[in-house]
Amino acid sequence: MKIKIKPFISKLLLLIIFSSTACQQHIDTSNDRPNIIIFFTDDQGYADVGCYGAEGFETPHIDRLASEGIRFTNFYVPATVCTPSRAGLLTGRYPKRYNLHEAVLFPFSEGGLSLNEYTMAEMLRDNGYSTSIIGKWHLGHKEEFMPNNQGFDQFYGVPYSNDMDNYYYKHIDFQSPPLPFYRNKTLIESGPDQDYLTQKYTEEAINQIKNRSEKPFFMYVAQNMPHTPLHASPAFIGKSEKGLYGDVIMELDWSVGEIVKTLKEQNIYDNTIFIFTSDNGPQMGSAKPLRGKKAETWDGGQRVPAIVVWPSKITKGVVSSDFTTTLDLFPTLAKIAGSKIPENLKLDGLDISDYLLHPEATKLPERPFYFYARNGEIEAVRMGKWKLHIQKSIGWNLNKNGSFPVSLYNLDEDISEKNNVVDQFPEVVEQLTKMMKEIETEL
């Protein structure tokens, strides 16, 4: 009798163990949460990607990425230059809310992103994600403001723009040091060879993916290029028809391809959200058919290429003209990751997760979006198809054209902001002007 019972008991014990393990796996949903990669370029224009109309160079990897998810054609950043744009991305809030909306931070600056701000990295880390930034920080180079104190477990890169490398600021008699290169809080190099920055960041991203922990990860790949001075590795010099600028973009495209390839090799691509976009309009590249460029509140300064891919969830090959911004990424990723947002945190972005998952069945609401100039002053507002400009500090020639006239554009019909219809729609001007006054009072 005992001989017959023992196999039964053994099988029963195995069944109990298996059932218990299966139950534990079902309850623990951490493995279901997606990895998140934000690939953020510097000064890459609206038309500096093949699928957005690039000329003189090709971006096959980014184009392929666009075919595997959603490509946005009405995607904006909350500033015309580096520092405030990056701040908005990581906080989901207009930079004016924490006084980081004017110009950019320099090697002689004393401030940075307030530690009172709750960053995307903190939000995700608090929910069990490992977090890393690879590349350019530009939100304060003093130790208290650096990435490891702002929610990032790992930092590999530089604290500010590549043009600040060993630069002399005559107006204040300040000599900046050779560009510092950090791993976490340790300075590992001064004045790195910028020809290899894109390559080094790519290799670091690949190494981190291959050596990841069991946690889901958030990786912020903030490339220095194509910010001037332009640099590309020898393998990409002469690749494009557009000279060095095209070479630089093609290397960035290669970088996207290498990271995606690694995700696929590691069998985690399907459950990774990959977001590609730029911090503002181009200094040297193209924003066609948009008007303006970097540092200007014309659309060319703040409407940028943007692609979101999540192979297991997002429909392939969608081209969206719905209005969206980097401010939306904070609440959207919080919802997708199951993170809690503090009740008293005032966000300026919108949770667009339903739209990402069901773009054909979801309509995003119209909402105002405010354009702050490099000098920190509000210059324009967009609501639906309408965009109203009330002043211009950059992007308007006073000597040639006289003082700037209040201007209203229908962006649905006039993407290049050429036909001022301010006299035809006084009620729209009144409504948008009121909105600008209200947000200024609030902020």
Active site residues: 82, 138
Distances 57 to 40, 46, 235, 254 between C-alpha atoms, Å: 19, 14, 15, 12
Q: Which of 321, 267, 276, 280 is nearest to 65 (CA)?
A: 276
Which tokens hold the place of 69?
């998810």
CA distance 302 to 74: 10
Residue whose pair of structure tokens reads 């490099």 in the numeric block: 374
C-alpha torsion sign, points 331, 34, 309, 302? positive
Judge contact between 57 and 44, C-beta under 8 A: no
Bridge partners for 307 per DSSP: 71, 276
First to last CA, the chain: 82
**Residues with Cβ within 8 Å of residue 418, at least 6 apart in sequence:** 291, 409
Which tokens hold the place of 46?
């609206």
The DSSP code sequence of 114-171 is: -TTS--HHHHHHTTT-EEEEEEE--S--SGGGSGGGTT-SEEEEESS-GGGTT-EEGG
CA distance 319 to 329: 18
Give 360: exposed, middle or buried? Use CB within 10 Å, 0-12, 13-18, 19+: exposed
Bridge partners for 273 per DSSP: 36
Which tokens hold the place of 380?
């324009």
| Number of other CB atoms surrounding residue 1 within 10 Å | 5
Give 186: exposed, middle or buried? Use CB within 10 Å, 0-12, 13-18, 19+: exposed
Which tokens hold the place of 357?
């998952």
CA distance 256 to 338: 27
Bridge partners for 303 per DSSP: 76
